[in-house]
Structure 1
Amino acid sequence: MRKILLLQPPVRDFYDTAIRLQPIGLCSLKAAVGKYLPACQVEVRDFHQGRGRSTIALPAELAYLRDYYTGPDRSPFCTFSQYSHFGASFEAIAGEVAAARPDLVGISALFTPYYREVLACAAAIKNKINVPIMVGGSHVSCAPQSILAEPCVDYIVRGEGERPLVEFLAAVDRGGELAHVPNLGFRKNGGLIFNPLEANFPLRELPSPDYTDLPVGRYLYGRRPVCFLLTSRGCPHGCAFCSVHLTFGSRYRRRSPASIVREMEERYAAGYRVFDFEDDNLTFDLAAIKELCRLIIERFAGCELELLAMNGISYASLDDECLALMRQAGFTHLNLALVSADQGVLAAVRRPHTVGKFVEVVATAARLGFRIVAHQILGLPSESLASMIETLALLARQPLLIGVSVFYLTPGAPIAVEFPEMTATDFFLSRSTAMAIETEHCRRDQLFTLFVTARILNFLKGLTVANDEAILSELLAGAAPERDRTGLGLSLLATLFAEKQLYAVDRNGRRPVTRFDPELFFRVWKAIGTLTTQDGRRIHLQSRELS
């Protein structure tokens, strides 16, 4: 096989994370084949980012969400309104692939809820051109049968893909036996064959991802080109809701700081100015991240540079020195996963973190000038509603924005053994927007209400407050008319207090958000006491607002 086309497929959902779409995995495969099999021609095509958006019908499995996502809403507390196809159409993808006439097509299946889009791409391509199709990625590692059982897919790869792809191509070229290709899945005599999993090439031997098929200006953070980096693979934490170990294993492997900086220098020379570290556990090796930061400070002194870690940072290993070095090196934001403020819940989901450490890290990071987002998971099976309220209240009191995700089940995650075996529908519903899993502690209306409450709290956290402290009643009384987002938000909030009813706003005026539970909202409100804005100002939420 001399011509390989690797593609990133479109997705379908209520929203898209447009700034985190650079296909680093596919570009890593291209680089590995280029090193070990230079006679092969590999091209990466992204059919997701920058390929359009179209509104499509809400799937039948999500019909229950019409009661929650009720249509356009221009309020700052809005959720979702339209279900969309993000990327090129399946027909357009098939046409482009057929025109390229590759010898092998590889499709990335990163996220379980979008596995249908992967299969739709494969089926459309097969209808246009008779070409073998291989699928890899996190979903394949977690549920390989769900992909390989489909007739439009010929091969799958579990785990990390560089060595399996290289050895597969080499075996095909020499007419060898596929049984010796690690991690490969294929069909034989009507059955599904899954070869044993083996280790990938050592990280120190892998070349940097080859982004040459993707224009530098295609992926932006703000208005500046952003480049994804990986300094490590694997996460030793083993959180019960996470299945990353099935792709990268539990053994933590790290590149040398010097090799990372060399890659950054090459990317900087190519025009990239923002670097996003997409590691699953960037700061696990504290000595290594400190050394990396020192090298970046030395090599990029006086350069325009911004560093991010949008995949999140584990705060368990952070200390004051590391945070200071990260800030000096160019990190501007911290994404921290608190998950829950209940230490018992953290233990139940195998999180090796403490709430006290979280509060310490936030205080230090805020003092250093980081913009912080902290994440909570709503609806964990072991968590009570009271615990979720306390977590949200704790986050409201910190100088950060709140990121909430509704718990969803991932195939292969340790917690999955507590549930019935996942079906194809369960795979499709494996997304936060579906609010698919209700527990004895928390029903869907409550999940929705807490999600919207977090948006209300973030609205307040983003307000410009003239003094170090403010009283909410005075902010509401002095609010400008509904000419802008701030005025509209304060007006809706005042109405919520007066009428015990939240409203959405469209071109026809206001309409009630019927699934929002004001009683639960006010429980959260009372638990907060004083809210801290992202800039560290304090807004006192006086009890008379609720009377």
Structure 2
Amino acid sequence: MKILLIQPPIEDFYDTDVRLQPLGLCYLKAVVNRAFPEIEVLVKDFHQGCGRRTISLPRELRYLKTYYPGHDQSPFSSFSQYFHFGADVDTIAHFVQEYQPHLVGISSLFSPYYREVLACARAIKQCIDLPILIGGSHASAAPLTLLEDRNVDFVIQGEGERPFVAFLQALTSDRAWERVPNLGWKNKGRCILNPVEPNYPFASLPFPDLSDLDPRDYTFQGQPMCFVTTSRGCPHRCAFCSVHLTFGHGYQHRDPADIVEEIRLRYAQGYRVFDFEDDNLTLNKHDFSTLLDLLMETFAGKQVRFLAMNGISYLHLDRELLAKMRRVGFTHVNLSLVSAQAATLSRMHRPHPVARFKEVALAACEIGMHTVAYLILGLPGETLDEMIQTLVLLARLPVLVGASIFYLTPGSALARDFPPMTAEDIFASRSTAMAVTTEAFTRDDIYTLFVTARIINFFKGCVVDTPKKTVFEVLDAARGRGGRDRLGADILLRLCNEGVLYGAGRNKWFPLPRFRKALFDRIMACTNEIVTLEGKRISCCQWG
């Protein structure tokens, strides 16, 4: 028996190409190898390393044309062209026909891309008649959006390892589908969702099998990178998050020695950068500290780097842990702020005091870590003034601003405050869509705040050779350096003088009509000064 597990392509304005390793599929391959050594399993990534091509903007997103009007090459660019990232579905179907598996499993991780999953299923079914099973976080959040499609035979909700093994046992022995936990299936055209049951204990799972992946296809700054997870689940219940639909509300973690053994194996396989993709990496502070000690001992003198690009909860960080992280090989730290407003954090059910964030951010910068702080723009219930205050806080700290635009996630607690999500709502559940507005702010406001975050980051990255300079002294120096620094400075000077923000094409500039200069001036007036990543200060008092 042969099984093909597919990571499908996606379509959007941009792609995060450094975070695409199909770890979940590799876990499934490992558990099948353990339970059924006679079954051949192939993990095939049709997303990463398969190129991209420009496609037409979908009808549902055409309202974005005035926000993303051209191919902007400026330092403040948002988005422009719409792309298909990965192989086309006919290529995928042809591969399946050539490989001749007995079962195809497709990963559906992110809700807005579920149409691409269904397109793969349709193309495959047109070429070869075989069962198609879909799993992943979207299958957990909205299983019927997949199962009701005539080209999909099965879905698995929640964690997939135990249900997948039970499914294969049923498939190979004609056992009843009713006995397979977490399975969605069809009986005479009627969709049936079996009860969700606990998975195998996370610590008992074998290491994910990465043997079908080429380390050269997954890199960070030129070095082969792989994902590692030390835990599953998160005890927090943030209102905008739906991770509990996949992993439940519990939290499971692995023994630090076991994690180090996995990383040692990956090192032997050629990987040199290790990205911890946990939802809450530092929740068990003692175990994380032990892990850092073991990593220092094991990889002393070796060229390795560690990342946590999924973001770290600052609630369980302190200077001692940060210093250990730096010594081990963490060069970057991504902190999940969400908002600097206590009332907003309370509404989002996040037990994270803002004062704690400032302490951790300053400590990380003093230790020499490149620090990014993530916030969400456009959270329901937050006012425009409150979002400005969060931006101002980050402008005054030596951190980069990681701004995301709120989108409604199927199955999240916030989704219950909205009408039931339609297919178009799910398709628009992506940051680039800017789909959610309220009486407190407009889409123009959110767009302006998003671009302003990029402008703030431009200043934060500028070379400032004295403890303090004015914004115009910094722009004058940037013009002298040429390249993108000069381009950014010229655009900002024209913004100040003409009141219009321009994008930069290959041979001409073009106005960005939805950027609100008055709102930008208001933010700059509130900010007073921007602190660079080196701790230098840029006075904004003369702006405007």
TM > 0.5 between the two? yes
Q: Which amino acid in 2 is paired with 1:192?
A: C
Q: Which amino acid in 1 is paired with 2:391?
A: L
**How far has the Cα of 1:473 moved from its partner?**
1.9
Residue 528 of structure 2: aligned partner: 529
1:401 correspondence with 2:400: yes
Residue 503 of structure 2: aligned partner: 504
2-side partners of 1:337 and 1:480: how far apart? Answer: 34
How do 1:58-207 and structure 2 match up within 5 A?
58-207=57-206
Asked if structure 1 preserves the Cα contact closer than 8 Å seen for 2:396 and 2:529, the reply is: yes
**How far has the Cα of 1:503 moved from its partner?**
1.1
Residue 543 of structure 2: aligned partner: 545
**Most deviating of 460-469 and 351-360:** 460-469
Q: Which amino acid in 2 is paired with 1:297?
A: M
How do 1:37-48 and structure 2 match up within 5 A?
37-48=36-47
Residue 243 of structure 1: aligned partner: 242
2-side partners of 1:360 and 1:479: how far apart? Answer: 31
Q: Which amino acid in 1 is paired with 2:543?
A: E
**How far has the Cα of 1:468 moved from its partner?**
2.5
Residue 425 of structure 1: aligned partner: 424
Asked if structure 2 preserves the Cα contact closer than 8 Å seen for 1:481 and 1:488, the reply is: no
Q: Which amino acid in 2 is paired with 1:93?
A: I
Deviations 1:151-184 (A, max 9, x none): 1000000000000111110111111111111101
2-side partners of 1:505 and 1:482: how far apart? Answer: 18
1-side partners of 2:543 and 2:417: how far apart? Answer: 43
Asked if structure 2 preserves the Cα contact closer than 8 Å seen for 1:53 and 1:84, the reply is: yes
Asked if structure 2 preserves the Cα contact closer than 8 Å seen for 1:13 and 1:83, the reply is: yes
Asked if structure 2 preserves the Cα contact closer than 8 Å seen for 1:218 and 1:225, the reply is: yes
State, as a whole percentage, how many aligned pairs show the same letter: 53
How do 1:375-394 and structure 2 match up within 5 A?
375-394=374-393
Asked if structure 1 preserves the Cα contact closer than 8 Å seen for 2:94 and 2:127, the reply is: yes
Asked if structure 1 preserves the Cα contact closer than 8 Å seen for 2:462 and 2:478, the reply is: no
**How far has the Cα of 1:479 moved from its partner?**
4.3
Asked if structure 1 preserves the Cα contact closer than 8 Å seen for 2:395 and 2:531, the reply is: yes
Aligned partner of residue 239 in structure 2, secondary structure: coil
Q: Which amino acid in 1 is paired with 2:225?
A: V
Residue 299 of structure 1: aligned partner: 298
Deviations 1:61-103 (A, max 9, x none): 0010001000112211111110000000000000001100000
Residue 23 of structure 1: aligned partner: 22
Asked if structure 1 preserves the Cα contact closer than 8 Å seen for 2:448 and 2:520, the reply is: yes
Gap runs ≥5 in structure 2: none
Q: Which amino acid in 1 is paired with 2:183?
A: L
Deviations 1:209-259 (A, max 9, x none): 000001121100011000100100000011000000000111100010000
Asked if structure 1 preserves the Cα contact closer than 8 Å seen for 2:219 and 2:225, the reply is: yes
2-side partners of 1:75 and 1:435: how far apart? Answer: 21
Aligned partner of residue 386 in structure 1, secondary structure: helix
Aligned partner of residue 451 in structure 1, secondary structure: helix
Aligned partner of residue 336 in structure 1, secondary structure: strand
**Most deviating of 467-476 and 479-488:** 479-488
Deviations 1:130-149 (A, max 9, x none): 01000000001000110000
2-side partners of 1:207 and 1:251: how far apart? Answer: 20
- Count of matched residue pairs: 544
**How far has the Cα of 1:362 moved from its partner?**
0.4
Residue 362 of structure 1: aligned partner: 361
Deviations 1:90-117 (A, max 9, x none): 0000000110000000000000000000
Asked if structure 2 preserves the Cα contact closer than 8 Å seen for 1:471 and 1:540, the reply is: yes
Asked if structure 1 preserves the Cα contact closer than 8 Å seen for 2:308 and 2:333, the reply is: yes
2-side partners of 1:527 and 1:340: how far apart? Answer: 17
Asked if structure 1 preserves the Cα contact closer than 8 Å seen for 2:5 and 2:105, the reply is: yes
Asked if structure 2 preserves the Cα contact closer than 8 Å seen for 1:404 and 1:454, the reply is: yes
Residue 12 of structure 2: aligned partner: 13
Asked if structure 1 preserves the Cα contact closer than 8 Å seen for 2:257 and 2:291, the reply is: yes
1:448 correspondence with 2:442: no
**Most deviating of 31-40 and 82-91:** 31-40
Alpha carbons of structure 1 residues 514 and 404: separation in structure 2 relative to 1, 3 Å: same
Q: Which amino acid in 2 is paired with 1:470?
A: K
1-side partners of 2:124 and 2:428: how far apart? Answer: 25
Deviations 1:367-392 (A, max 9, x none): 11110111111111110000000000
2-side partners of 1:468 and 1:38: how far apart? Answer: 64
Aligned partner of residue 479 in structure 2, secondary structure: coil
How do 1:293-332 and structure 2 match up within 5 A?
293-332=292-331
Asked if structure 1 preserves the Cα contact closer than 8 Å seen for 2:6 and 2:46, the reply is: yes
2-side partners of 1:237 and 1:533: how far apart? Answer: 32
**How far has the Cα of 1:482 moved from its partner?**
8.8
Q: Which amino acid in 1 is paired with 2:497?
A: A
Residue 372 of structure 1: aligned partner: 371
**How far has the Cα of 1:496 moved from its partner?**
1.1
Asked if structure 2 preserves the Cα contact closer than 8 Å seen for 1:111 and 1:139, the reply is: yes
Q: Which amino acid in 2 is paired with 1:15?
A: Y
Q: Which amino acid in 1 is paired with 2:489?
A: L
**Most deviating of 205-214 and 533-542:** 533-542
The TM-score, its normalising length taken from structure 1, stands at: 0.98
2-side partners of 1:512 and 1:423: how far apart? Answer: 34
**How far has the Cα of 1:508 moved from its partner?**
4.0
2-side partners of 1:365 and 1:198: how far apart? Answer: 41
**How far has the Cα of 1:475 moved from its partner?**
2.1
Asked if structure 2 preserves the Cα contact closer than 8 Å seen for 1:312 and 1:337, the reply is: yes
Alpha carbons of structure 1 residues 51 and 478: separation in structure 2 relative to 1, 3 Å: closer
Residue 212 of structure 2: aligned partner: 213
1-side partners of 2:300 and 2:482: how far apart? Answer: 44
Residue 457 of structure 1: aligned partner: 456
**How far has the Cα of 1:320 moved from its partner?**
1.8
Task: Supply the RMSD in Å over aligned alpha carbons.
Answer: 1.0
**How far has the Cα of 1:189 moved from its partner?**
2.4
Asked if structure 1 preserves the Cα contact closer than 8 Å seen for 2:158 and 2:247, the reply is: yes
2-side partners of 1:18 and 1:201: how far apart? Answer: 30
**Most deviating of 157-166 and 507-516:** 507-516
**Most deviating of 262-271 and 327-336:** 327-336
Aligned partner of residue 204 in structure 1, secondary structure: helix
**Most deviating of 318-327 and 93-102:** 318-327
2-side partners of 1:175 and 1:471: how far apart? Answer: 75
Residue 342 of structure 2: aligned partner: 343
Q: Which amino acid in 2 is paired with 1:394?
A: L
Q: Which amino acid in 2 is paired with 1:215?
A: D
**How far has the Cα of 1:510 moved from its partner?**
2.1
**Most deviating of 125-134 and 475-484:** 475-484
Asked if structure 1 preserves the Cα contact closer than 8 Å seen for 2:295 and 2:328, the reply is: yes
1:516 correspondence with 2:512: no
2-side partners of 1:476 and 1:215: how far apart? Answer: 44
**How far has the Cα of 1:535 moved from its partner?**
2.1
Aligned partner of residue 501 in structure 1, secondary structure: coil
Residue 267 of structure 1: aligned partner: 266
Gap runs ≥5 in structure 1: none
Asked if structure 1 preserves the Cα contact closer than 8 Å seen for 2:529 and 2:539, the reply is: yes
Aligned partner of residue 543 in structure 2, secondary structure: helix
Asked if structure 2 preserves the Cα contact closer than 8 Å seen for 1:482 and 1:488, the reply is: no
**How far has the Cα of 1:3 moved from its partner?**
0.7
2-side partners of 1:175 and 1:493: how far apart? Answer: 68
Q: Which amino acid in 2 is paired with 1:242?
A: C
Asked if structure 2 preserves the Cα contact closer than 8 Å seen for 1:479 and 1:491, the reply is: no
